[in-house]
Amino acid sequence: MSQKNDLHKPSENEYLSCIRCGLCLSNCPTYREYLTETASPRGRVALARKGLEGDLKLTPNLYEQMYACFDCLACNEICPVGIRPADLALEMRYFQEQMNPKRWKGTLFSGLLSKPKSMERVTFPLRLYQMLGVRRLVYALGLRLLMPGQLRDMEAMLPHLPQRPLRSVLPEITESHGRSARKVGFFLGCAQSLLFADESAATVRVLARNGCTVITPRDAKCCGMPAMGYGRQDTVLDMARHNIEVFEKSGIEKIITDCATCGSTLKEYGKLLSDDPRWAERAKSFSGRVRDISEFLMEIPIIKPEGAIDARITYHDPCHLRRGQDVRQEPRELIKMINGAEFVEMNEADWCCGSAGSQLITHYGTSLKVLNRKMDNVEGSGADIIASGCPGCQMQLNVGVRRRRSKIRVVHPVLLLDEAYSKKGT
């Protein structure tokens, strides 16, 4: 397919300044596993430059190196000259999709993920699998062991599924307990509604306990990160405009999310729409009001829970929370507020777990290698519970726990807080 003049392509300043110092190598999970230049941020920058300048053909193999990037943002953080290799990898995926659009991506991202009701219908068989007791039987009879390895691990990703998606049962308005001091919007993510409903329900309860009237717009769509990861920038912008408009109608002060990936993406809307005269200011205002639940709770006078959780708890930093949003200490401080909780910092807490959205499916071997390193550190902490504020990370950690037949519990920090509140009825 011939290149068009109107294609968006990475600018020269995104790759020309790389001084090849190699600092990014020590922080890159894929390089640490393979020790090859093409598996490194520096190598991907070089490949992108050569391809864009015409010295290399833009072959499927070259783009595969861009999709092998976990987008964990560690290279962005450490680069001394401001090159952002993780962002460049996403830009290259977008460039490829413009050159050679894939129909299945349009069907998946513009069709399925942009329609919450369609998502609920598609995932209904998974809920049925659990509700009918089939899953329990599969585990009790050891039938999982007969599955191919990758399928077995994909099954292990699933948490305990809700009978109904949270979007269909959560009230649009949840009144605060006592006097309402704040009116906030809650962005209910796709995974949180369909897979982690208990956690998002806990988020709303915790907000209400702390003087917030919570508005949860049912019309909100996917944040856009899955589409962005697969080069469908046009879909991301459509989702951004829709979500901005939905929350503008609610008259809220802040927009709260309990998904690290959603939060990181929502905070990027201002940047993504900065060149759109109609939406630039609206997007900037929207993004400026977005807060991760842990970030928001530590900004307000949060009520300390009276109940206790007697457990040793460690914490895994989601990449898009720690690096994408610079939210680092807040989740830890929330855990430390809980009576009886013994917080222990594990080694490499900020090291990627290997999820990166869909890497367990698309780059299975690499994803497991990175996960094994993470699980070694989890087990080394001696923790009973590992907390993390990202559904993708939690699903990946569930795989690690089940692969090692461990009894470690994987949860969102806000769920622990909610449990501590409920034990004393605070």
User: Under the phi-then-psi rule, with left for phi > 0, alpha for psi from -120 to 50, and beta for the rest, what region is 293?
Assistant: alpha
Is the confidence at residue 1, as pLDDT, over 50?
A: no
**pLDDT tens digits, residue range 196-229?**
999 999 999 999 999 999 999 999 999 999 999 9
What's the whole-number mean pLDDT along residues 330-350?
A: 97
Domain 308-424 has CATH 3.40.50.1860: yes
Checking if the pLDDT of 316 tops 90, the result is yes
- Which pLDDT tens digit goes with each residue over 39-70? 999 999 999 999 999 999 999 999 999 999 99
Question: Does position 423 have pLDDT exceeding 90, yes or no?
Answer: no
Least confident of 2-6, 116-120, 190-194, 341-345: 2-6
* % of the chain residues with pLDDT over 70: 98
What is the tens place of the pLDDT at every residue in 235-247? Answer: 999 999 999 999 9
CB-based contact 86:42 (threshold 8 Å): no
Q: pLDDT tens for residues 130-169? A: 999 999 999 999 898 899 999 999 999 999 999 899 999 9
pLDDT at 424 over 90: no
CB 249 within 8 A of CB 178: no
For residue 2, name the pLDDT band (cuts at 50, 70, 90).
very low
pLDDT band at 4 (very low <50, low <70, confident <90, very high): low
Three-state SS sequence of the chain: CCCCCCCCCCCHHHCCCCCCCCHHHHHCHHHHHHCCHHHCHHHHHHHHHHHHCCCCCCCHHHHHHHHCCCCCCHHHHHCCCCCCHHHHHHHHHHHHHHHCCCHHHHHHHHHHCCCHHHHHHHCHHHHHHHHCCHHHHHHHCCHHHHCCHHHHHHHHHCCCCCCCCHHHHCCCEECCCCCCCEEEEECCCHHHHHCCHHHHHHHHHHHHHCCEEEECCCCCCCCCHHHHHCCCHHHHHHHHHHHHHHHHCCCCCEEEECCHHHHHHHCCHHHHCCCCCCCHHHHHHHHHCEEEHHHHHCCCCCCCCCCEEEEEEEECCCHHHHCCCCCCHHHHHHHHCCEEEEECCCCCCCCCCCCCCCHHHHCHHHHHHHHHHHHHHHHHHCCCEEECCCHHHHHHHHHHHHHCCCCCEEECHHHHHHHHHHHHCC
Q: What is the mean pLDDT of the chain?
A: 94
Which range among 249-253, 268-272, 318-322 shows the weakest confidence by mean pLDDT?
A: 249-253
- Look-up of token digits 């070259």: 62
Percentage of the chain surpassing pLDDT 90?
89
Confidence at residue 113, expressed as pLDDT on a 0 to 100 scale: 86
pLDDT exceeds cutoff 90 at 3: no
This prediction has a pTM of: 0.94
- Do 12-99 and 166-297 show the same overall fold? no
Q: What kind of fold does domain 166-297 have according to CATH?
A: Glutathione S-transferase Yfyf (Class Pi); Chain A, domain 2 (1.20.1050)
**For residue 181, what pLDDT band results from cuts at 50, 70 and 90?**
confident
Domain residue limits, the chain: 12-99, 166-297, 308-424
Please give the CATH superfamily to which domain 12-99 belongs.
Answer: Alpha-helical ferredoxin (1.10.1060.10)
Do the beta carbons of residue 169 and residue 199 sit within 8 Å? no
Amino acid at 26: S
